[in-house]
């Protein structure tokens, strides 16, 4: 007999933990380690990206600056696409959306490869100049670390969900050095409830990750401010205008990105054709608009510190000092096209096979939007600081795109050290959020799941229905009958059944109708009629037929509309699977609600 030593040791470890460490203390301990591992993953990713960038810019490109910049992003996308297709063999794009899907549809289970695959894929993509960001992939990495640690200790779904939040908070804290933003991001974007049991683990992960990032890279903010323009009260109206502009640009970002991604996904199915089209599109855009190369963080630093001339490096306007210094319409048009085509560059990067997120693109577009808005106001005779507008514009775009005003406020304050601009940050973030909410109720991350009814929100009733699955409420102990059966044969079936509803199916298993006991009660005791009637003559159509893949919220809507208490369930080919009763849903609903409300 072969003894699995590893399995025995693992089981003993779990048993020792259950005897000596309470679940409450275990959660706090795990949140610390999730913060450590998430921060280390962020440091590895940033180092990997910087290593590739050093190789590209110092060793490969040398003096052929412009032309190599057209080729290297395609190299990175190609390497990333090959890695995903032949090594990972799974979709690792849309990191935040995958986290939301795991929480709502996969019982908070995230595949183990996500603890490293996004680091490799996004590192290759961004290091070689892909026009996306590293933040969403590292958030997915942190969430996967939290999920798999919780799974390893056999914790329940509710605790696994909390560990996912800890991983996300740690990832944001680690990569941005922004502990408060890590906490509020988890609450706003991942839509977890703030309770006494969740706030401590989230804070531990976020603060731990930030502290490790401080140790590894210093305490300086990511985008340090060299210019320090004070906030003046009489400029509040202009910040209101900027907030509305950011909200509208966020709407363009959200809908434009979503539609372009859908077009790329459904129109082009061949991997190499996607690579060719996406790579060519990105190269052309970078050739015309060099600021679209890479994450765009250098451009952000230049704009928030009043160095817009440097943002034009290698562009057609680089040597046109008149255009840059005099704020000509040519300069405004150029930056306007950068805003217009940034989402195209990002979609081309991911659509062609690259791996990256929208954090960096939203920050980039926010800085350019703020700068452009301020430059136009100054050209109209208003005196506003372009540096401040570029800074708060980042918060405005992030608030609008992610539907997360608190995240936008705290993240930009922590990223730049611009705490003296808290008032304009709040004004612009809230106005941007209110503006986009008028047009689009869901963020770019959530809209894909919301359309399918698979999204968890802060509405607890809706969350419970989302967590309920059809197979958990499906009842299959109904006796099936056939249309050609006589009344006499039906009476025998009724005598052996404990149900008063009988699904009628054909010999391929497809549902034809239902037969209610009440409908035949007045004739079932008359033997002279046993051969006169058949089930096909007596059956009726159900009030509605449910598909197995319907979300539970939609199922409840159908129950309310029809007034029924029992409805049949079929698959995509109308084959009968069972019945769902409203009382069964209510019982399951109460069970899940009690479980997830328990503090």
Domains of the chain, each with CATH number or no CATH: 5-217 (1.10.3080.10), 233-455 (1.10.3080.10), 462-597 (3.10.580.10)
CA-angle at 487, arms to 485 and 492, nearest 5° = 85
Query: Residue 264: how many CA atoms within 13 Å on its side-chain side?
Result: 28
Instruction: Please count the CA atoms within 13 angstroms of the CA of 55 that sit on its side-chain side.
Output: 13
pLDDT tens track for 553-573: 788 888 888 888 888 999 888
pLDDT band at 462 (very low <50, low <70, confident <90, very high): low
Q: Which pLDDT band holds residue 321 (cuts at 50, 70, 90)?
A: low
Distance CA(200)–CA(258), nearest Å, equals 35
Please enumerate in sequence order all residues whose Cβ is within 8 A of that of 292, keeping only pairs 6 or more positions apart, or say none.
Answer: 131, 282, 285, 286, 338, 341, 342, 345
Ordered alpha helix ranges (H), 268-404 = 271-288, 297-304, 321-325, 329-351, 359-379, 386-402
| Closest by CA position to 397, among listed 388, 409, 387 | 409
Contact yes or no for 473/584 (Cβ under 8 A): yes
Q: Considering only CA atoms, which of 458, 444, 407, 457 is closest in space to residue 429?
A: 407
Q: Which residue has the higher pLDDT, 34 or 538?
A: 34
Cross-strand bridge partners of residue 575 = 510
331, 345, 338, 398: which is closest to 135 by C-alpha?
398
Higher pLDDT among residues 209 and 1, named by residue: 209
Q: Are 493 and 501 in contact (CB under 8 A)?
A: no
Calpha distance 23→442 (Å, rounded): 35
In 552-592, which ranges are E strands? Answer: 566-570, 576-581
Residue 43: pLDDT band (50, 70, 90) is: very high
Characterize the bridge pairing of strands 566-570 and 546-547.
parallel
Element (H, E) at 504: strand 501-505
**How many other CB atoms are found less than 10 A from the CB of residue 186?**
29
> H or E segment at 405?
helix 405-416
Query: What does R_g of the chain's alpha carbons equal in angstroms?
Result: 29
**pLDDT of 191 over the 70 cut:** no
Among 118-122, 303-307, 466-470, 499-503, the least confident range? 466-470
- Region 405-412: mean pLDDT is 93
Nearest C-alpha neighbor of 374 from the set 229, 250, 251: 229
* H-run or E-run covering 246: helix 236-267
Supply the pLDDT for residue 588. Answer: 65
Q: Which has the closest alpha carbon to 115: 165, 152, 167?
A: 167
pLDDT at residue 459 in the model = 47
Position 434 confidence tier, pLDDT thresholds 50, 70, 90 = very high
Q: According to the model, what pLDDT value does residue 3 have?
A: 46
User: Which pLDDT value is given to residue 47?
Assistant: 92
Query: Where does the pLDDT of residue 450 fall: very low under 50, low under 70, confident under 90, or very high at 90 and above?
Result: low
Average pLDDT value for residue range 348-355: 88
Q: In terms of pLDDT, which residue wins out, 300 or 326? A: 300
- pLDDT over 70 percentage in the chain: 87
Give tens-digit pLDDT for 209-255: 999 999 998 888 888 887 677 888 889 999 999 999 999 999 999 99
Task: Note the pLDDT of residue 194.
Answer: 65
List the single range of 16-25, 107-116, 279-288, 441-450 with lowest mean pLDDT: 441-450
- Quick: pLDDT tens for 249-265: 999 999 998 888 888 88
Reference 190, options 445, 412, 453; nearest CA is 445
Q: What is the mean pLDDT of residues 470-485?
A: 85
Lowest mean pLDDT among 55-64, 155-164, 512-521: 55-64
Task: Report pLDDT for 591.
Answer: 61
**Highest-confidence segment of 207-211, 225-229, 346-350, 415-419:** 207-211
Q: If you average pLDDT over residues 185-198, what whole number do you get?
A: 76
Q: What secondary structure does DSSP assign to 441-474, as a single string?
A: SS-HHHHHHHTTT----S-HHHHHHHH--HHHH-
Give the model's pLDDT for residue 1. Answer: 40
CA distance 564 to 328: 68
Phi, psi (deg, nearest 5) at residue 109? -95, 125
CA 464 to each of CA 100, 159, 199, 548: distance values in angstroms, whole numbers, following the listed order: 15, 16, 21, 18
Contact 230, 56 (CB under 8 A): no
Main-chain dihedrals φ then ψ at residue 173, nearest 5 degrees = -60, -40
Residue 458: Cβ within 10 Å count:
12
- For residues 196 and 577, the model is more confident at 577
Residue 520 has pLDDT above 90, yes or no: no
* pLDDT for the residue numbered 62: 56
Q: What is the pLDDT, as a whole number, of residue 34? A: 95
pTM: 0.78
Q: Is the pLDDT of residue 512 over 60?
A: yes
DSSP 384: -
More confidently predicted of 444 and 593 = 444
**Low-confidence winner among 16-20, 355-359, 457-461, 491-495 (lowest mean pLDDT):** 457-461
Contact 513, 542 (CB under 8 A): yes
Percentage, residues of the chain above pLDDT 90: 31
């Amino acid at each position: 007999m072969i003894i699995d030593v590893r399995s025995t040791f693992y089981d003993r470890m779990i048993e020792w933990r259950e005897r000596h460490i309470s679940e409450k203390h275990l959660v706090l301990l795990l949140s610390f380690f999730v913060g450590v591992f998430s921060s280390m993953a962020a440091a590895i990713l940033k180092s990997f990206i910087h290593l590739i960038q050093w190789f590209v810019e110092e060793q490969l490109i040398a003096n052929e600056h412009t032309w190599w910049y057209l080729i290297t992003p395609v190299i990175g996308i190609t390497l990333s696409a090959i890695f995903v297709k032949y090594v990972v063999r799974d979709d690792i794009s849309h990191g935040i959306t995958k986290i939301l899907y795991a929480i709502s549809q996969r019982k908070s289970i995230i595949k183990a490869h996500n603890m490293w695959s996004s680091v490799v894929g996004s590192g290759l993509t961004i290091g070689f100049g892909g026009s996306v960001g590293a933040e969403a992939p590292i958030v997915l990495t942190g969430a996967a670390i939290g999920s798999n640690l919780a799974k390893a200790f056999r914790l329940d779904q509710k605790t696994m969900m909390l560990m996912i939040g800890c991983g996300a908070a740690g990832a944001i804290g680690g990569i941005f050095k922004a502990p408060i933003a890590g906490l509020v991001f988890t609450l706003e974007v991942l839509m977890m409830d703030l309770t006494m049991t969740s706030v401590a683990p989230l804070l531990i992960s976020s603060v731990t990750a930030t502290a490790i990032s401080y140790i590894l890279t210093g305490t300086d903010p990511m985008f340090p401010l060299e210019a320090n323009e004070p906030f003046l009260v009489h400029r509040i109206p202009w910040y209101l205008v900027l907030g509305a502009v950011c909200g509208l640009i966020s709407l363009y970002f959200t809908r434009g990105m979503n539609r372009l991604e859908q077009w790329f996904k459904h129109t082009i199915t061949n991997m190499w054709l996607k690579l060719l089209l996406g790579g060519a599109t990105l190269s052309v855009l970078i050739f015309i608009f060099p600021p679209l190369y890479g994450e765009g963080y250098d451009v952000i630093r230049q704009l928030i510190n009043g160095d817009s001339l440097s943002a034009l490096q290698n562009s057609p306007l680089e040597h046109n000092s008149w255009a840059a210094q005099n704020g000509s319409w040519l300069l405004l048009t150029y930056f306007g096209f950068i805003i217009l085509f940034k989402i195209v560059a990002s979609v081309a990067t991911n659509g062609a096979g690259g791996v990256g997120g929208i954090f960096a693109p939203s920050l980039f577009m926010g800085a350019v939007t703020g700068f452009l808005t301020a430059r136009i106001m100054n050209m109209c005779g208003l005196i506003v600081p372009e540096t401040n507008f570029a800074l708060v514009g980042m918060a405005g775009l992030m608030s609008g795109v992610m539907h997360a005003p608190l995240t936008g406020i705290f993240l930009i304050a922590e990223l730049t050290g611009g705490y003296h601009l808290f008032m304009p940050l709040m004004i612009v973030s809230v106005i941007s959020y209110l503006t986009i909410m008028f047009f689009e109720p869901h963020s770019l991350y959530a809209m894909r799941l919301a359309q399918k009814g698979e999204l968890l929100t802060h509405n607890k009733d809706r969350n419970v229905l989302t967590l309920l699955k059809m197979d958990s409420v499906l009842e299959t102990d109904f006796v099936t009958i056939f249309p050609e059966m006589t009344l006499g044969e039906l009476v025998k079936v009724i005598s052996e059944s404990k149900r008063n509803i009988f699904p009628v199916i054909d010999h391929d298993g497809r549902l034809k109708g239902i037969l209610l006991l009440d409908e035949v009660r007045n004739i079932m005791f008359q033997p002279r009629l046993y051969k006169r009637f058949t089930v096909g003559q007596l059956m009726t159509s159900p009030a509605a037929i449910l598909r197995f893949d319907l979300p539970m919220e939609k199922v409840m809507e159908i129950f309310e509309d029809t007034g029924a208490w029992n409805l049949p369930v079929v698959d995509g080919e109308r084959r009968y699977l069972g019945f769902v009763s409203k009382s069964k849903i209510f019982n399951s609903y109460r069970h899940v609600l009690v479980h997830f409300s328990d503090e």
